[in-house]
Chains A and B, each alone.
Chain A
Amino acid sequence: MLLPSPSSGLPARYVIQDGGLYEMQMVDSEGLRSWFVGDTIQSDGALFLITPFDPVFMLIPILDTMRQKTPTSEGKFLMLEGIFGSSNDQYPSMRHLTNLKNIDGYLALVCEVRDSSPSMKTFRLDDDRVMGWLKKKMDVLVSKFGTIPALVDSIAYTESLPEACRSEAITQSVLRLISANLSDSWATRLSANYQFPELDKLESRTQLPSMSEFGKRSGMDLDDEPKTKEVKKPKMSVGQRKLAKASTAGMKPMTSFFAKKA
């Protein structure tokens, strides 16, 4: 089923099975690959990867739009049906999200919940809870960091660096990982909570001058050179410049030897 991707808002494929949410990714080599399946050949070489996906990431952007927050009001409380209901034309399959196991529990993690009666639970996204949950997510991942080889590889460059640097690199790497599943505005808000003084020091020491500096420098050249050049001299090749320096004392011009043709 198609749902908006939490990071880009563009449609992406997801699967709900046994009350769990899964993200589907297709690895496609543009038809240049095929598979052997037993004794047969499957000509479509595309590979679908289906991996568990934390529903909360999916819920945050949906709740964010549905609460209709304005500068004056904190937004609406909505029932489950109101949040994922048929009002959403672009993603009709969104209502299937209500079938997720423990959807109320997931919502409660990031929402303010009001239950006037057991059958009338309403939810509204709560910024502080979102941040709290994201930070907890960060902490869990940071603590599990060493157990995930792919993540350890991502900070391999810090191996020779002091411990302070290394732990910052771990946090940074986790932050990137989590931000990959967030919209830009949430990602910036989350990253505002983390600073990397040691890494910044390291970068400022090792980084080359940024492109903008190059731009400035060449920009200056562009401004100055043509003006001075044009004023100075018409084009002369190297040889001509050398000859211009040659002393022609005692040499008569060619016209004094050869007459001009009529």
Chain B
Amino acid sequence: MLEARLQTGALLKKVLEAIKELITDANFDCSDNGIALQAMDNSHVALVALLLRHDGFEPYRCDRSLALGVNLVSLSKILRCAGNDDIITLKADDTADVLSLTFENTDNDRISEYELKLMDIDSEHLGIPDTTYEAVVQMSSAEFARICKDLQVLSDSVQIDVTKEGVKFAAKGELGSGAVTLKQNGNVDKEEEATLIELQQNVSLNFSLKYLVNFTKATPLASRVSLSMSSEVPLLVEYKMEAGYIRYYLAPKIGEDN
């Protein structure tokens, strides 16, 4: 039995927007810790890990661990029926054949109730070890989204170089080349926009821009994004929310020298 009440429905709507473009079906794993989701995209080069911690809900109750197999497009269609200010309550029985959603609008005393049919999904969970990355860049999420979008005009892939001076995004394609460099700054006045770099070692990696642009669908969820990189391991793009996170992993492109 799961019962989770979310004060701001907009959060769940945004989360769905952020993952439904990457994966089709996924299990929402509900436990007393919260609601988690882990899934790979169709070509298995990217992975998304979502966690909505129990303290983000009021109240949250989950007696026994449940896996709710959901078609994300269907779920986001139902969530479109919810207003941004609606309080959303998720409920599911232990049999878990439907997920019932209740949208409460306090302004006009409207209560909408929807039920989503669930499905059985075979999911393989990957164990993701805690890694110490060689370079971690923290920056404005809007800035990151803009850079990815801009460079996509030039090429399908971007080279990210991190040094202690700053981080450089460079793309080269048929029509020309472009690069955006952000200098490390500890701008105290504009904490939201500051670019912070923690560096063990300089890194230079290539990534698919189409995937990065896809990840930036999560931009509305957090004003900050962190990019964690080590050579030869997947890039971690993390958006931290108040009670939880959404993490994207993307395999680097190897053997492509731009």
Q: With A246-B156, A254-B47, A258-B128 given, is the CB distance from A237 to B21 under 8 Å? A: yes
Instruction: Tell whether, in the assembled complex, residue A257 and residue B233 are in contact, meaning their CB atoms are under 8 Å apart.
Output: yes
Q: Are A250 and B254 in contact (CB under 8 A)?
A: yes
Interface of B is mostly: loop
The DSSP consensus for interface residues of chain A is loop
Which residues of chain B from 116 to 169 have any CB-CB distance to chain A below 8 Å in the complex?
Answer: 124-129, 156
Residues of B within 8 A of A257 (CB): 233-234, 249, 251
Which chain A residues border B14 with CB–CB below 8 Å?
none
**Cβ < 8 Å to A, chain B residues 21-57:** 21-24, 40-47
Query: How long is the Cα–Cα vector from A261 to B124 in the complex, in angstroms?
Result: 7
Asked if residues A259 and B127 are in contact (CB atoms below 8 Å), the reply is yes
Candidates B43, B46, B126; contact of A260 at CB < 8 Å:
B126
* A239 lies within 8 A of B22 (CB): yes
Contact B22 A247 (CB under 8 A): no
User: Is A253 located at the chain interface by the 8 A CB criterion?
Assistant: yes
CB–CB B127/A261 < 8 A:
yes
Q: Does B7 count as interface, using CB distance less than 8 angstroms?
A: no
Given known A-B contacts A236-B24, A254-B46, A259 and B211 have beta carbons under 8 A apart: no
Bound-state CA distance A119–B71 (Å) is 90
Q: Does chain A have a CB within 8 A of B210?
A: yes
Whole-angstrom distance between the Cβ of A261 and the nearest chain B Cβ: 4
* Given contact pairs A250-B255, A251-B253, A243 touches B211 in the complex (Cβ within 8 A): yes
**Residue A252 is within 8 A (CB to CB) of chain B in the complex:** yes
Report chain B residues within 8 Å CB of A243: 21-22, 41-43, 46, 210-211, 214
Is B100 interfacial (CB 8 A cutoff)? no
Contact yes or no, B41 A240, CB < 8 A: yes
Interface: B91 (CB within 8 A): no
Q: How far is the CA of A246 from the CA of B44 in the complex (A)?
A: 12
Contact between B44 and A250, CB atoms less than 8 A apart: no
**List of A residues within 8 angstroms of B125 by Cβ:** 260-261
**Interface members, chain A 200-250 (any B CB < 8 Å):** 234-240, 242-250
- A-to-B contact residues, CB < 8 Å: 234-240, 242-261
Question: Interface on B for A, CB 8 Å cutoff?
Answer: 20-24, 40-47, 71-73, 124-129, 156, 206, 208, 210-211, 214, 217, 233-234, 249-256
**5 A–B contacts from the bound complex (CB under 8 Å):** A240-B23, A246-B210, A254-B234, A257-B233, A260-B126
User: Known pairs A240-B41, A254-B234. 20 more at Cβ < 8 A?
Assistant: A234-B24, A235-B24, A239-B22, A239-B214, A243-B22, A243-B41, A243-B214, A244-B43, A246-B208, A251-B45, A251-B252, A251-B254, A253-B251, A257-B251, A258-B127, A258-B128, A258-B129, A260-B125, A261-B124, A261-B126
